[in-house]
Amino acid sequence: MDIIVRESYDELSKYSAKLIARLVKSKPDCVLGLATGSTPIGTYKELVRMHKEEGLDFSQVKTFNLDEYYGIGIDLDKPYELDQSYARFMHEELFKHINIKKENIHIPDGLTKKPDEYCKWYEEEIKKAGGIDLQLLGIGGDGHWAFNEPGSSLASRTRIQALAQQTLDDNYESFYKKAGIDRANMPHFAITMGIGTILEAKNIIMLANGIKKADVVAKCIEGPVTSQITASAIQLHSGGITVVLDKDAASKLNGLHHYMHVEKLKQEYGF
């Protein structure tokens, strides 16, 4: 596991975008697993810049998003119908700015009438695509990945997941309160990739920034592997893992100086 610490969110975003761009250039038909939330926005902005200014080509890339609220859906041709969908988020932050083909974009369908069958189909589509080459992740305030709330099985697959109270509270304050939407009318369930699904990605990049994430980042990386902090499953991944943090998010790591020493050595010796 490579722990990369950068001075700022901007530097974190540029570093992670550079890793993704390197894969896209070396494997133009790669499969990317993508995340929503505030943390990856800077990474997406940098990828958009690379596309517009440096010609980074997404025409053969396929993407699979981690999750979507259940009961919310969107037609990408009508991106403003439902403001809170993750499909809209991805369209606005990334997809409409790059040359990715619409048929290569996969986002869970929050309006499916047969969620169990749909979740199995989503898993099969990932397999048909050859698996995810690189999965981009954030980490929730309680240590969850996607909507794998505390207590989720570390072997879980794509499924319907009830949202934890903290997630509901965070979502309400961040999105629904501002939009004047009552708590009773906000989504209480989501379709999410499982931890087992995520761990099958060949490579993982996990991002975290800000002092509010410092404690949970330390527990995820240096604490025990536990279903109460589903992101701690990163310790079980056998492929390439890169955790990119700003200095605030990294501030509670016991091994911080060691991680920075290792990065410096790898840079010096070309690893």
160 token code pair? 């319907």
Quick check: 169 and 68 in contact, CB under 8 A? no
Determine the pLDDT at residue 80: 47
The β-bridge relationship of strands 105-106 and 134-137 is unpaired
Residue numbers annotated as active site: 67, 142, 144, 149
| Domains of the chain: residue spans and CATH | 2-269 (3.40.50.1360)
- Specify the residue for token string 């999105």: 175
DSSP 95-159: GGGS---GGGEE---TT-S-HHHHHHHHHHHHHHTT--SEEEE---TTS-BTTB-TT--TT--SE
The rounded distance, in Å, linking the Cα atoms of 260 and 251 is 12
Q: Which residues contact 269 (CB under 8 A, 6 or more apart)?
A: none
The rounded distance, in Å, linking the Cα atoms of 173 and 179 is 10
**249 DSSP assignment:** T
Residues lower than pLDDT 70 in the chain: 74-83
The rounded distance, in Å, linking the Cα atoms of 96 and 79 is 10
Alpha-carbon distance values, 225 to 6, 152, 205, 221 (Å): 25, 12, 18, 9
Give me the count of residues in the chain.
271
Determine the pLDDT at residue 75: 61
Determine the pLDDT at residue 181: 79
Determine the pLDDT at residue 78: 56
Q: To 5 degrees, how large is the angle CA 214–CA 218–CA 219?
A: 120
